[in-house]
Structure 1
Amino acid sequence: MQTNFAPERLAADRLVREANDILRTCVHCGFCTATCPTYVLLGDELDSPRGRIYLLKDMLENDKPASDTVVKHIDRCLTCLSCISTCPSGVDYMHLVDHGRAHIERTYRRPLQDRLLRRLLATVVPYTGRFRWAMLGGWLARPLAGLAPGRFRALARMARKRPALRSEIDGARVISAEGPVRMRVAVMRNCVQPALNPEIDSATLRLLRRHGCEIVIAEGQGCCGAVVHHMGQEEPAKAFARANVRAWTAAGVDRVVVNVSGCGTTVKDYGHMLADDPDIADDARAISAKAVDVTELLAELGLKDPVKEPGLTVAYHAACSLQHGQQVKTHPKALLEAAGFHVKTPMEPHLCCGSAGTYSITQPDLSHQLRARKTENLHALKADVIATGNIGCMTHLEPGLDVPIVHTVQLLDWATGGPKPPTL
């Protein structure tokens, strides 16, 4: 793609140069349209990666304020990154849309309801304590959820269950390994998982200890920053990233283990996010290099022989942030098979389920259409249980399913000596 950024802007700003380089990589082939969920649903070129790239090029190249059209179509992007897996030219769409969202945040004034919703999400979701109390209030007031205005209704309906008010992963500490220590690892504490499903973290801790990991729950670690980052709020996202880099660097760990794939994609990008911060750039690159999904670490360590053979048929739902964002595609299924499960893959495994962080709240109509499509494909497998690696997918898909959905680590923990997942 030909670009015409002003030379003085290219000389003065690394991010402008990066956007220019990314845009020039695109050859307009359109392969991305076939795997883009919003294009598959809507058939609108501007709701495809190629169409969004044209919109971003015009806005960024001319350094002009975001228009209503740009905001509409960029907001509809799930950031599922399926286009990155598909693109033969290697277009770095993820960082390009990051630039676009930051530019929108700086130059566009949203309607009042949008501003209030985004402020609420940014103020509550990244903080486990606040999220717990918000979910508890929503659960107590659930008969009134239908009265909430507009997209606040989707947020209210998240509180279908009473949230857990404490979790095994709360509080900084060191947890010893079972037997000889093979590795010292930090386990990332996600913002919402301790409230929505604390058993996932408990299963993760048991599984890692059983495989010789000394576990650090690091002092000072917080939200990965993805929630505000995807809303274009650069500085808050960087503040979260800096805090985590400092916490994990001080902990002196061999790996940073993430069991929420949406967070993993962000943590692995810290080296890029903080590249212009001279005080922490080197540590950020080091932490990004140490960050792994829990299934990557288990594949590296080698899964212990199962102590029981569950023999269940598992439908594996590949979270977009894991298969596209992190390009982790084979480890979860291979581990489940090694643990004695019969694993099936649904039709259209590349298409997003519609969760996508806060997307199910900010774009509920499109999100629900994608959920219906995904659950239909999962039900067609007639599996005993569905497994995935992301709490967002689990929470979003569960209302549309007639079989249990669990995190991959819960099944691996059960097979190698842990308790049976409660939902089974």
Structure 2
Amino acid sequence: MQTNLSEQARLLRRAEEAESILRTCVHCGFCNATCPTYQLLGDELDGPRGRIYLIKQVLEGNPPTEKTQLHLDRCLSCRNCETTCPSGVDYHNLLDIGRSVVDAAVPRPLSQRLLRQGLRHVVPDAGLFKSLTRLGTTFRPLLPAGLKAKLPDSIPAPGVRPTPRHERRMLMLEGCVQPGLSPNTNAAAARVLDRLGISVTPVKEAGCCGAVDYHLDAQEAGLDRARRNIDAWWPALQNGAQTVIQTASGCGAFVKDYGHLLRDDPDYADKAAQVSARARDLVEVVRDEPLEQLGLQVDTRLAFHCPCTLQHAQKLGGEVERVLSRLGFHLTAVPDGHLCCGSAGTYSITQPELARRLRDNRMNALESGRPQVIATANIGCQTHLAGANRTPVRHWIELVDQALNNLSKPDPARSHS
């Protein structure tokens, strides 16, 4: 695609990157075929090709409008288009650049500003979020329907984490939302890894990955969180910890992008690149272990929802399914498994109507094989899908941990005999 960036746009820190990405796009339109919002709305400007054109216009000097901002806001950042694109267009980075320019030029209404600032202050603060979640669960019947759907009926106890005892040590990003909504997920991961000869070492100083800020008009604040996490993990990584594990694929996708996002930072570029190179989604660790030796015999029938951040961002589609099949789970077929559930970080809050329609479509597909439970790999997807109050939704590692616990329990019939 021919481009002619304005003089003002050429002053942007990422101007050269934006121009390079724009010139990669050949406007073939293959991306629209797999774009969830284009499928729902049928508007060219609500598909990747149209959004790329809008960003191109802005960077070439055309003033952005509220309409420009709306079409960019409606993008889920699911990156399905990147998987489909034959030209390898780096769409999500172009979108980040475009959103930053548009948001700086187009003031949002007060209600939107308050909502986004509220999300930025509450969601990344794990302690505050956990306290508000517990309070909300207590008074759940009194809450509005939209907020009620975001909260679980009850929050299970996390269970005991094993004391680090193995030579193989790994770090784990605890996250900001997951400890409040599903505290057993990380504990279950630690227990399963312990059985596989891997100890998880906690790093309390590490916090939110930075994605919430970065995608809510505060990119520098998101990068500051990334820098703090790098500082928190660096001593342990230098002292023998093999990797940083993420149990939420959304966090994992962002951590793996630290190296790119901080590549021009003289103080953090090298460290960020090393952290990104050593970051691993949980399934990348578990899949390489001798799982068959665990001896699981599971008769659970489940459907797996593969988060966009796992299959399109991290290119790990199919990996969890293969792990679960090796462990004996019975997986049902899921039509259109490449599509987004509508969670997309805070999208289900900022774009609730579109998110609900996408969720209902995904639930219909996931339930088509009549599973007993739906498994996923990202807390956002888990909470959003569970909000439909249909088939139970769990993180896949919790199902593995539960199966291992059942395996270790004595058989009542055998004990009685």
Matched residue, 1:150: none
1:110, 1:367 → 2: CA distance? 21
Which moves more between the two structures, 361-370 or 100-109?
A: 100-109
2:150 to 131, 141, 158: 158
Alignment of 1:58 onto 2:46: no
1:95 to 81, 93, 96: 93
Q: How far is 1:6 from its partner?
A: 4.3
SS at match of 2:230: helix
Alignment of 1:115 onto 2:113: yes
Contact 1:103-1:232 within 8 A present in 2 as well: no
Compared with structure 1, are the counterparts of its residues 45 and 419 closer, same or farther at alpha carbon in structure 2 (3 Å cutoff)?
Answer: farther
1:15, 1:76 → 2: CA distance? 23
Which moves more between the two structures, 290-299 or 214-223?
A: 214-223
2:359 to 371, 387, 396: 371
SS at match of 1:334: helix
The 5 Å alignment of 1:152-191 reads 154-155=146-147, 157-163=149-155, 175-177=163-165, 180-181=166-167, 183-191=168-176
Q: How far is 1:190 from its partner?
A: 1.0
Matched residue, 2:305: 317
Identity %: 43
Alignment of 1:216 onto 2:201: yes
Q: How far is 1:291 from its partner?
A: 0.6
1:302 to 290, 295, 302: 290
Q: How far is 1:401 from its partner?
A: 4.9
Query: TM-score, normalised on structure 2?
Result: 0.91
The 5 Å alignment of 1:287-366 reads 287-366=275-354
Q: How far is 1:207 from its partner?
A: 1.0
SS at match of 1:400: coil
Alignment of 1:286 onto 2:278: no
Which moves more between the two structures, 76-85 or 405-414?
A: 405-414
Alignment of 1:133 onto 2:131: yes
List alignment gaps of at least 5 residues for structure 1: 147-152
2:369 to 367, 370, 381: 381
Q: How far is 1:419 from its partner?
A: 7.8
Contact 1:136-1:159 within 8 A present in 2 as well: no
Compared with structure 1, are the counterparts of its residues 415 and 403 closer, same or farther at alpha carbon in structure 2 (3 Å cutoff)?
Answer: same
Q: Read off the aligned partner of 1:138 and give its amino acid letter.
A: G
Matched residue, 2:394: 406
1:58, 1:81 → 2: CA distance? 22
Contact 2:302-2:330 within 8 A present in 1 as well: yes
Compared with structure 1, are the counterparts of its residues 8 and 18 closer, same or farther at alpha carbon in structure 2 (3 Å cutoff)?
Answer: same
1:195 to 155, 166, 180: 180
Which moves more between the two structures, 155-164 or 292-301?
A: 155-164
Compared with structure 1, are the counterparts of its residues 365 and 221 closer, same or farther at alpha carbon in structure 2 (3 Å cutoff)?
Answer: same
Compared with structure 1, are the counterparts of its residues 237 and 164 closer, same or farther at alpha carbon in structure 2 (3 Å cutoff)?
Answer: farther
Compared with structure 1, are the counterparts of its residues 255 and 69 closer, same or farther at alpha carbon in structure 2 (3 Å cutoff)?
Answer: same
SS at match of 1:79: coil
The count of aligned residue pairs is 405
SS at match of 1:300: coil
User: Residue by residue, what CA displacement relative to the aligned partner does 1:89-137 show, whole Å, maximum 9, x if unpaired?
Assistant: 0000010111122223322210011011001000000011111222233
Which moves more between the two structures, 380-389 or 43-52?
A: 380-389
User: Residue by residue, what CA displacement relative to the aligned partner does 1:147-195 show, whole Å, maximum 9, x if unpaired?
Assistant: xxxxxx73454234355798868xxxx9414xx52x3211111101111
SS at match of 1:380: helix
1:166, 1:336 → 2: CA distance? 22
Query: TM-score, normalised on structure 1?
Result: 0.90
Cα RMSD for the two superposed structures: 2.2
Compared with structure 1, are the counterparts of its residues 185 and 418 closer, same or farther at alpha carbon in structure 2 (3 Å cutoff)?
Answer: farther
